[in-house]
């Protein structure tokens, strides 16, 4: 079933792209998420676990592996269920037009996210992690003509992909220390190596989940169309980091630095995100910063790692996905119907857009953690988890969560009050109501109430999910009414009261301060690009001879470590006298190449070198090598005919210095190759017999060389031909770039030099 659902996403992408008529694009796209959501929902609360595994290379422990337990099912319901609503919403949001490419990309993202939350193998996880980065880049850059959107997309891609590389490093270290790549088989690890892995993996998670100081990409990504923001930047992609921290908790939770780093960064992010949300006047940016803040709380809870904290984190993930998607959708609806998201100018929306108003109120109350909404018990759980921590660090955590929550209530209050207040003067004009754009948000905000009413059922879904991460999470519950003797309840009420006062005051502030600039990443990117240009200018100067000299020198340096491993006892003059004769010919021809002034003469002398070497192979008893060498020589001769056609008949005269450099380089390169050969010759192929036997038995051929190439070591060949294809495609691309740019492109200097 796991395979079917994942492949269904892929099939869906192709189907959407090949639709003859763009109208049903979103309808076709939502089929696969709908099926996944239904399947996952049917498993909620149940204890069964499904796995799917495809071993790729057993010896390297490489496999594509999925495991859907309670957590996988719960997250899949969020990812696919909200995905379905997003497709409906997208249909209303765009209101016609050709959106096949957009719908297909969104579906590809949805499938990647599903693969990510179901992955049971670190490499599978990483693969889908990167897939979400790439697809989200395409989605943020949907308006490819808008330079702000392109910059934002680039920023998001750079931050998340850089984080992905850090994560990759962390996973490599982790697999090494844990001894397996399968997540469900990993036991707890500690020690220095585990600490390194923990830090690297946390950094990876921070970039994806927009934690300080990597949060800068998220507000910028609001340049994306609202369906993208509602899906990626609230409910799904940014949760990937939280999920990663959760999945790694059983393995790395015991590492000292794990919870300290995660909680500190999480709480700071919660605070800073909330400040950002209070300062902005664009409703969507307020939500974006609010998301950063909420992600901070979830990161803190997930890395805190106690049973209650993990339970709180999973509950928050659920509650947040539901209310934040609703909030984004409502703001998007306001945006498309009024053409503005500015808190300072929108006026009279309470009467002109009542649906959006009530959606914002209910979803906002859930975000603020007010009963009777699902956000309340989740927030209560977080506060209780903080209360359980002892000592000074416990007090700090409680203070952090409390302050962050007060600010959360404040920015929520401010957002709703400012967005829907009457500013005096005329009311903002509002375009006609669209069902498809409003219905999903209504459903989601209603789910906040339903979720509260059905808190015991939600508990039944959340607890098994949390216990797969931390067994101590069993036994906790989402409480509709914790009772008046609960400390957490009074703290919670205090938070709501305090936040509401601050929020109301901030909402009356007619002109909020200008936003804090998040351009540091852009500046960093520009600097890096400048540096890259500078380096390129220095290194890629376009002189072919200098390239060759540099490459030869660097390659020569690489053999230095092998100098010591030459076995001089093995050296002898020749096996057969004919080799001496042939060798002399080769050397003489090589010297002739360097001395002859005529180009065609040098080419012929080079041909003699090649044929001589080919003859040496033959004498040595390697007919395959000899044949290949002979054919290569033949082709090279034709190549010379082509190349020399446009050149002068004589080599140009070189100055003494340049000539010496070239001769020196040539001698050095030759010496280096000699050393490399001598050093490797000592290593007698011990597995010759086994290879010979295997060639006939397994390969079914008597030509050992070819059986090795196409069967026994076919993976090497596969890699080589792929490299060949990539290199050749590069050649093609470069030459075509030259034609396309009218021959003035700096990249193709080499090509033109060769041509001249």
Q: For binding to other proteins (CB under 8 A), which residues are involved?
A: 54, 56-58, 623-624, 626-628, 631-632, 634-635, 638-639, 641-643, 645-646, 698-703, 705-707, 709-711, 714-715, 717-718, 721-722, 724-725, 728-729, 731-732, 734-735, 751, 754-755
Instruction: Measure the CA–CA gap between 127 and 120, rounded to whole angstroms.
Output: 12
**Which of residues 61 and 711 has its CB atom nearest to other proteins in the complex?**
711
Residue in 433, 460, 64, 78 with CA at minimum distance from that of residue 239: 78
DSSP character for 52?
A: E
Tokens 């209050």 correspond to 413
Tokens 């603020």 correspond to 368
CB of 655 to other proteins, least distance (A): 27
**Which of residues 670 and 730 has its CB atom nearest to other proteins in the complex?**
730
**Which of residues 51 and 628 has its CB atom nearest to other proteins in the complex?**
628
What's the token pair of residue 628?
Answer: 């290949």
**Which of residues 58 and 569 has its CB atom nearest to other proteins in the complex?**
58
CB of 39 to other proteins, least distance (A): 25
CB of 702 to other proteins, least distance (A): 4
CB of 549 to other proteins, least distance (A): 23
Residue 211's CB: how many other CB atoms inside 10 A?
Answer: 31
**Which of residues 450 and 751 has its CB atom nearest to other proteins in the complex?**
751
**Which of residues 487 and 634 has its CB atom nearest to other proteins in the complex?**
634
Contacts of 188 (CB under 8 A, 6+ apart): 250, 251, 252, 253, 254
**Which of residues 597 and 736 has its CB atom nearest to other proteins in the complex?**
736
Residue in 72, 110, 375, 412 with CA at minimum distance from that of residue 232: 110
**Which of residues 123 and 214 has its CB atom nearest to other proteins in the complex?**
123
CB of 626 to other proteins, least distance (A): 8
Instruction: Measure the CA–CA gap between 600 and 584, rounded to whole angstroms.
Output: 22
Instruction: Measure the CA–CA gap between 461 and 75, rounded to whole angstroms.
Output: 10
CA distances from 672 to 205, 294, 560, 566, 683 (A): 45, 59, 8, 12, 18
CB of 164 to other proteins, least distance (A): 25
Instruction: Measure the CA–CA gap between 371 and 224, rounded to whole angstroms.
Output: 32
**Which of residues 50 and 750 has its CB atom nearest to other proteins in the complex?**
750
**Which of residues 446 and 734 has its CB atom nearest to other proteins in the complex?**
734
**Which of residues 181 and 478 has its CB atom nearest to other proteins in the complex?**
181
Compute the 3-state secondary structure of the chain and give helix, strand, coil in percent, each to the nearest 5. Answer: 75, 5, 20
CB of 606 to other proteins, least distance (A): 16
**Which of residues 620 and 634 has its CB atom nearest to other proteins in the complex?**
634
- Evaluate whether 129 touches 201 at the Cβ level (below 8 Å): no
CB of 447 to other proteins, least distance (A): 42
CB of 613 to other proteins, least distance (A): 16
Instruction: Measure the CA–CA gap between 474 and 593, rounded to whole angstroms.
Output: 80
The full 3-state SS of 169-226, as one line of letters, equals HHHHHHHHHHCCCEHHHCCCCCCHHHHHHHHHHHHHHHHHCCCCCCCCHHHHHHHCCH
Helix (H) or strand (E) holding 4: helix 2-17
CB of 728 to other proteins, least distance (A): 4
The pair phi, psi for residue 322, each rounded to 5°, is -70, -50
704 burial (CB, 10 Å; 0-12 / 13-18 / 19+) is middle
**Which of residues 497 and 721 has its CB atom nearest to other proteins in the complex?**
721
What's the token pair of residue 588?
Answer: 């003489």
Handedness of CA 42, 44, 49, 50 (dihedral sign): positive
Residue 617's CB: how many other CB atoms inside 10 A?
Answer: 19
Instruction: Measure the CA–CA gap between 603 and 601, rounded to whole angstroms.
Output: 5
CB of 620 to other proteins, least distance (A): 13
Q: Helix 435-453 vs helix 375-388: angle between axes, to the nearest 10 degrees?
A: 50
CB of 641 to other proteins, least distance (A): 6
CB of 600 to other proteins, least distance (A): 12
CB of 61 to other proteins, least distance (A): 13
Collapse the DSSP code of 67 into the 3-class scheme (helix H, G, I; strand E, B; otherwise coil) and give the result: strand
Residue in 321, 324, 348, 314 with CA at minimum distance from that of residue 334: 348
CA angle 127, 130, 131 (to 5 degrees): 85
CB of 704 to other proteins, least distance (A): 10
**Which of residues 557 and 627 has its CB atom nearest to other proteins in the complex?**
627
CB of 512 to other proteins, least distance (A): 55
**Which of residues 584 and 735 has its CB atom nearest to other proteins in the complex?**
735
The pair phi, psi for residue 51, each rounded to 5°, is -130, 155
**Which of residues 378 and 707 has its CB atom nearest to other proteins in the complex?**
707
Contacts of 536 (CB under 8 A, 6+ apart): none
Cis status, amide bond into 372, omega within 30 of 0: yes
């Amino acid at each position: 079933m796991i395979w079917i659902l994942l492949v269904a996403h892929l099939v869906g992408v192709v189907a959407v792209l090949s639709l003859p008529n763009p109208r049903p694009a979103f309808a076709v796209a939502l089929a696969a998420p709908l099926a996944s959501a239904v399947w996952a929902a049917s498993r909620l609360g149940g204890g069964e676990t499904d796995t799917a595994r495809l071993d790729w290379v057993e010896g390297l422990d490489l496999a594509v592996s999925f495991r859907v337990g309670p957590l996988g099912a719960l997250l899949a319901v969020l990812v696919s269920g909200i995905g379905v609503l997003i497709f409906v919403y997208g249909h209303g949001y765009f209101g016609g037009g050709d959106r096949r490419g957009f719908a297909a990309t969104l579906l590809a993202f949805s499938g990647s996210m599903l693969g990510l939350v179901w992955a049971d193998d670190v490499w599978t996880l990483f693969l889908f992690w990167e897939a979400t980065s790439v697809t989200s880049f395409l989605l943020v850059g949907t308006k490819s003509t808008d330079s702000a959107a392109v910059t934002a997309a680039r920023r998001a891609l750079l931050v998340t992909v850089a984080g992905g590389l850090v994560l990759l490093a962390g996973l490599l270290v982790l697999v090494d220390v844990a001894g397996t790549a399968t997540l469900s088989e990993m036991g707890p690890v500690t020690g220095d190596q585990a600490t390194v892995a923990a830090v690297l993996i946390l950094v990876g998670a921070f970039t994806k989940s927009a934690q300080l100081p990597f949060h800068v990409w998220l507000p910028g990504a609001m340049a994306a169309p609202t369906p993208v923001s509602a899906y990626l930047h609230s409910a799904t992609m940014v949760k990937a980091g939280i999920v990663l921290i959760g999945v790694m908790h059983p393995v790395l939770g015991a590492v000292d630095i794990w919870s300290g780093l995660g909680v500190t960064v999480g709480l700071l992010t919660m605070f800073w995100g909330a400040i950002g949300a209070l300062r902005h006047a664009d409703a969507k940016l307020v939500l974006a910063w609010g998301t950063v803040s909420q992600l901070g709380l979830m990161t803190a809870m997930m890395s805190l790692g106690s049973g209650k904290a993990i339970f709180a984190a999973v509950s928050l993930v659920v509650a947040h996905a539901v209310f934040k998607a609703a909030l984004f959708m409502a703001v998007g609806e306001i945006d498309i119907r009024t053409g503005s998201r500015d808190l300072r100018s929108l006026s009279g929306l309470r009467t002109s857009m009542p649906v959006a108003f009530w959606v914002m109120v209910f979803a906002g109350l859930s975000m603020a953690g007010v009963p009777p909404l699902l956000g309340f018990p989740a927030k209560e759980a977080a506060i209780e988890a903080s209360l359980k921590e002892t000592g000074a660090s416990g007090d700090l955590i409680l203070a952090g969560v409390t302050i962050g929550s007060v600010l959360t209530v404040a920015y929520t209050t401010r957002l709703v009050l400012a967005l829907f207040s009457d500013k005096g003067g005329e009311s903002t004009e509002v375009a006609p109501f669209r069902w498809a754009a409003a219905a999903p948000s209504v459903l989601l905000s209603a789910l906040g109430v339903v979720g509260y009413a059905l808190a015991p059922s939600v508990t039944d879904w959340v607890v098994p999910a949390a216990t797969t991460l931390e067994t101590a999470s069993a036994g906790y519950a989402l409480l509709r009414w914790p009772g008046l003797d609960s400390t957490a309840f009074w703290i919670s009420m205090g938070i709501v009261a305090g936040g509401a006062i601050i929020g109301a005051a901030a909402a009356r502030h007619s002109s909020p301060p200008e936003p804090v600039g998040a351009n540091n990443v852009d500046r960093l990117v520009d600097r890096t690009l400048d540096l890259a240009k500078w380096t390129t200018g220095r290194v890629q100067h376009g002189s072919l001879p200098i390239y060759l000299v540099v490459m030869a020198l660097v390659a020569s340096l690489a053999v230095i470590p092998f100098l010591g491993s030459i076995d001089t006892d093995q050296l002898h003059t020749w096996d057969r006298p004919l080799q001496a004769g042939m060798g002399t010919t080769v050397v003489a021809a090589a010297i002739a190449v360097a001395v002859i002034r005529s180009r065609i003469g040098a080419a012929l002398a080079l041909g003699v070198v090649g044929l001589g070497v080919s003859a040496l192979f033959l004498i040595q008893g390697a007919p395959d090598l000899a044949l290949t060498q002979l054919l290569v020589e033949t082709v090279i001769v034709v190549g010379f005919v082509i190349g020399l056609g446009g050149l002068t008949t004589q080599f140009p005269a070189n100055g003494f210095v340049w000539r010496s450099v070239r001769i020196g380089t040539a001698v050095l390169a030759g010496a280096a190759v000699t050393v490399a050969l001598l050093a490797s010759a000592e290593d007698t192929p011990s597995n010759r017999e086994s290879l010979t036997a295997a060639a006939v038995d397994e390969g079914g051929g008597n030509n050992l060389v070819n059986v090795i190439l196409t069967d026994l070591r076919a993976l090497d060949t596969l890699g080589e031909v792929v490299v060949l294809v990539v290199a050749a495609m590069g050649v093609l691309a470069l030459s075509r770039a030259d034609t396309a740019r009218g021959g003035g492109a700096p990249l193709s200097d080499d090509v033109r030099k060769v041509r001249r």
